[in-house]
Structure 1
Amino acid sequence: MLGLLIILVISWAVLRFIEKKNIDVLGVIPYPNRILQFFIGLVFMMFLCLLMVAAETYILNVKWKQKETIDYSLIFQSFIYHIRSALTEDLVFRGAILYVLIRRIGSKKAILLSALCFGVYHVFSYGMMSEGVIPIVYVILVTGFTGYVWAYAFYKTKSIMLGLGIHLGYNFLMTFFYESYPYGELVFVEMSKTSLQDWNWVIFNLSKGLLPSIFTLVFVNYLIKSKSILKSKSSQS
């Protein structure tokens, strides 16, 4: 919590002294429409993740076992943990710095730079520096594209709320099924699955890594065209 507070203070200072703007240009104040954006992103991504899990279950013939006892307090703790971590990352990569870059170098370059930094960041956060070139490129490609979509959502909606909901939805839902630190396999445990080889493995993992972001980009563009639910009280010029 202290780290999040420090990031908010730094964000305020960057915006105040560099752009002469209030921190609300990031869309962090929870006006009703921004709350709507957050929940739209959250519900959409949780539903999409369930579809992806179902597809993986079918393709790999995954056998799941539901836990005999579900710890709902642990699920709640996971939710709080992931909303804090998602908000922290969003403020760093899709917050004040991105806002300044959009104004100084243009939206296209700024969003691409934000995406690249997000991808490289995950190489370090996943502890992959000792891995080969191909796994590192894969992580940068997949997480970088994800960061691109979320940065694009920030630019178009002028708020971090839609991207935050999408971010939280993915991280939180996946803890129901897969191993993850510090929370994972909260509801189901994977017992067995079919192993893919060669190009089948490559195609499957690229699809698993990229398709959620592709579908999300299509969804965000649909929301942008609908306009009414994405109106914001702040503006980026």
Structure 2
Amino acid sequence: MIGLFVIIIISWVLLRFIEKKNIEVLGIIPYPKRILQFFIGLVFMLLLNLVLIYFESLILNVEWQEQNSINCNLIFNSFVYHFKSALTEDLVFRGALLYILISTIGSKKAILISAVFFGIYHVFSYGITGDRIIPILYVTLITGFTGYVWAYTFYKTKSIMLALGFHLGYNFLMTLFYESNPYGQLIFMELNKESLMDWNWLFYSLIKGLLPSILTLIFVKNIVKSNSTIFKNE
């Protein structure tokens, strides 16, 4: 929590002295419109990944086992933990620095730079710096493209809220099904599934990694084009 507070203060200082702007330009103040954007992003990502997990279960014949006892406190703690984590990352990669970059070098270059650093960051956060080059490139590509979509979302909505909902929705849902630290397999446990080999594994992994972000990008482009005042630029 202290780290998050420090990031907010640094963001305020950067915007105040470099751009002569208030931190509100990040769309971080929880006005009703912003809160609605957040929940739209959250629900969209939860539903999208539930559908994708369902199809993965069909394709790979995944066998799931429901946990004998579901700990609601752990689920709530996981939600809070990932909210703080997602907000911290979004303020770093899609906050003041991205806003300043967009203002100085343009949106296309700024969004690309944000995406590249987001991908590189995950190589370190996943602890795979000593792995082979293929896993490193895969993580950089998948998380980098995700970062690109979320940075694009920030640029188009002029707020971190929608992308924050996407971010939290994805991270939180994964803890309900898959192993993760500090929370994981909170409701279901994967017992076994069919294995894919060689090129089949590569193609499937790329589709699995990129498809959520591709569909999210399509969603964002369409809602921005809509006449809804919820997503109009301010």
- Tell me, yes or no, if the aligned pair for 1:66 and 1:189 is still in contact at 8 Å: yes
**CA distance in structure 2 between the partners assigned to 1:138 and 1:63 by the alignment:** 26
Cα deviation for residue 76 of structure 1 reads 0.2
| 1:154 matches 2:154 | yes
Q: Deviations over 1:183-217 (max 9, x none)?
A: 00000001111011011101110011000000000
| Counterpart check, 1:100 vs 2:100 | yes
Checking the alignment, whether the CA contact within 8 Å between 1:28 and 1:160 is kept in structure 2 is yes
Match runs of 1:61-76 below 5 Å: 61-76=61-76
SS of residue matched to 1:127: coil
Q: Which runs of 5 or more residues in structure 1 are unaligned?
A: none
C-alpha distance in 2 between matches for 1:133 and 1:199: 17
Identity of aligned residues (%): 67
CA distance in structure 2 between the aligned counterparts of 1:29 and 1:132, rounded to whole angstroms: 42
The alpha-carbon deviation at position 68 of structure 1 amounts to 1.2
Distance 2:209 2:227 in 1: 29
Match of residue 231 from structure 1: 232
Pair 1:38-2:38 in alignment? yes
Distance (whole Å) between structure 1 residues aligned to residue 126 and residue 185 of structure 2: 19
How do residues 50-199 of structure 1 correspond to structure 2 at under 5 angstroms?
50-199=50-199
Amino acid at match of 2:51: L
CA distance in structure 2 between the partners assigned to 1:190 and 1:44 by the alignment: 24
Measured after TM superposition, the shift of residue 227 of structure 1 is 4.0
- Please give the secondary structure, in 2, of the residue aligned with 1:131: coil
Q: Which whole-Å CA distance do the structure 1 matches of 2:46 and 2:227 have between them?
A: 23
1:232 deviates by 5.0
* 2: CA distance, partners of 1:155 / 1:81: 26
Alignment check: 8 A CA contact 1:149 1:217 kept? yes
Report the 3-state secondary structure (helix = DSSP H, G, I; strand = E; otherwise coil) of the residue aligned with 2:177. Answer: coil
Judge conservation of contact 1:34–1:232 (CA < 8 Å) in 2. Answer: no
CA deviation digits over 1:135-172, x for unaligned, max 9?
Answer: 11111100000000000000000000000000000000
Check whether the contact 1:86–1:167 (CA below 8 A) recurs between aligned residues: yes
State how far apart, in whole Å, the 1-side matches of 2:71 and 2:145 are: 34
Deviation of 1:231 after TM superposition, in Å, equals 2.8
Give the unaligned 5+ runs of structure 2: none
Q: Which amino acid aligns with 2:203?
A: I
Equivalent pairs, count: 233
Equivalent residue for 1:17?
Answer: 17
Amino acid at match of 1:6: V
Q: Which amino acid aligns with 1:23?
A: I
Is the contact between residue 224 and residue 232 of structure 2 (CA under 8 Å) also seen in structure 1? no
Q: What SS does structure 2 have at the residue aligned with 1:175? A: helix
Secondary structure of the structure 2 residue equivalent to 1:149:
helix
Moved over 3 A (4+): none
Letter in 2 for 1:171: N
Equivalent residue for 2:201?
Answer: 201
Q: Supply the RMSD in Å over aligned alpha carbons.
A: 0.7
TM-score scaled by length of structure 2: 0.98
Secondary structure in 1 matching 2:131: coil
Counterpart residue identity of residue 176, structure 2: F
Q: Distance in 1 between matches of 2:148 and 2:232?
A: 21
Q: Aligned AA for 2:151?
A: A
